[in-house]
Amino acid sequence: MAKGMREIKRQIKSKQNTKQITKAMEMVAASKLRRAQEAAVAARPYTDKILEVVSGIASSGGSVKHPMLQTREVKRTAYLVITSDRGLAGGYNVNVLRKVTTALRENHKSASEYAIYVVGRKGRDFLSRRGIAIAEEVTGLSDSPKFSDIKQVAASAVRGFEEGAFDELYIVYNQFHNAITQTPVLKKLLPLGEIKSTGEKADYEYEPSPEEVLNVLLPKYAETVIYSAILEGKASEFGARMTAMGNATKNATKMIAGLTLTYNRARQAAITQEIAEIVGGANAQQ
């Protein structure tokens, strides 16, 4: 009995230590979530303004042409997969990776039909273990990533489409709604096709020409959308981690309560047994 009680007490101590860790991780994730959410919101006006300008040029009489606007026969598709470097974030990485593997399985017959760009160690390791070749990767992003951190992989993916290495480019990431809800999204980025701005249209004068301005802005727009998706992914990551650690803390509390009840019952049973043995010994001496 004493040995069993010691084991229960050891389990209680272990669960208490785990609870302290998960509670600390929940608080850290909550703090980082606020900053990540602010960064994602702050990036939206810039993306919207570029979209407004690009939309205005692209719809100016249909005379402006650019490779990124033209749809061509799809022979090869590229995917930019955005995941995290660390786990313990619930279904954050699993949902994105399931989304991309489903797309690969359903839309492609061989590995020659697609190219994969990856942001995040979890995505890289998952795809590499399954023998999926990775064209380019970025790992070790900070909790507040800057555009310069992902510019190389974003520019490489956009340049690959411009040069005809592939005919479509999708980004796969978690769209942030709130701390509890993040939706995995497979979003077509290129070709841009009919660009539509939700803002009010304005008349601009372009120098040296609309075509020259479009040549500069279209790649920047695509790269900005990728960066915005990464910021949303970061906010989703911290939201998912905060929720996961909160649930882990609650589960640890329940387990501690159950083990404490079991320990108290075992302790009471041991005391009752000792009393019974003492009484039985006293009666035997009479």
In the Cβ-directed half-sphere of 153, how many Cα atoms lie within 13 Å? 27
Residues 200 and 256 in one domain: no
Are 3 and 266 in contact, with CB atoms under 8 Å apart? no
Are 219 and 162 in contact, with CB atoms under 8 Å apart? yes
| For residue 256, pLDDT beyond 90 | yes
Task: Please state at what angle helix 210-285 crosses helix 147-162, rounded to 10 degrees.
Answer: 130
Are 272 and 80 in contact, with CB atoms under 8 Å apart? no
In a domain, 211, yes or no: yes
Residues 21 and 73 in one domain: no
pTM: 0.83
Residues 60 and 118 in one domain: yes
Confidence at residue 208, expressed as pLDDT on a 0 to 100 scale: 73
For residue 256, the enclosing domain spans 2-26+244-285
pLDDT in tens, 16-41: 999 999 999 999 999 999 999 888 88
| For residue 106, pLDDT beyond 90 | yes
| For residue 233, pLDDT beyond 60 | yes
- Count of domains in the chain? 2
Residues 60 and 175 in one domain: yes
The secondary structure of the chain as a DSSP string is: -HHHHHHHHHHHHHHHHHHHHHHHHHHHHHHHHHHHHHHHHHHHHHHHHHHHHHHHHHTSTT----GGG-----S-EEEEEE--SS--STTHHHHHHHHHHHHHHHH-SSGGGEEEEEESHHHHHHHHHTT---SEEE----SS--HHHHHHHHHHHHHHHHTTS-SEEEEEEEEE-SSS-EEEEEEEEES--S---SS-------SS-HHHHHHHHHHHHHHHHHHHHHHHHHHHHHHHHHHHHHHHHHHHHHHHHHHHHHHHHHHHHHHHHHHHHHHHHHHHH-
Q: Give all strands (DSSP E) within the chain, no chain letters.
A: 77-82, 114-119, 136-138, 168-176, 182-190
Residues 216 and 263 in one domain: no
In a domain, 55, yes or no: yes
In a domain, 121, yes or no: yes
Residues 250 and 108 in one domain: no
In a domain, 31, yes or no: no
CATH number of the structural domain spanning residue 217 = 3.40.1380.10
| For residue 194, pLDDT beyond 60 | no
Residues 117 and 165 in one domain: yes
Residues 193 and 262 in one domain: no
Residues 195 and 272 in one domain: no
Confidence at residue 117, expressed as pLDDT on a 0 to 100 scale: 96
CATH number of the structural domain spanning residue 248 = 1.10.287.80
Residues 185 and 69 in one domain: yes
Residues 190 and 95 in one domain: yes
pLDDT in tens, 45-80: 888 888 777 777 776 655 667 777 778 888 999 999
pLDDT grade, residue 97 (50/70/90)?
very high
**List of residues 6+ apart from 151 with CB closer than 8 A:** 223
Q: What is the mean pLDDT of the chain?
A: 86
Query: What mean pLDDT do residues 96-125 have?
Result: 94
Residues 7 and 138 in one domain: no
Are 252 and 19 in contact, with CB atoms under 8 Å apart? yes
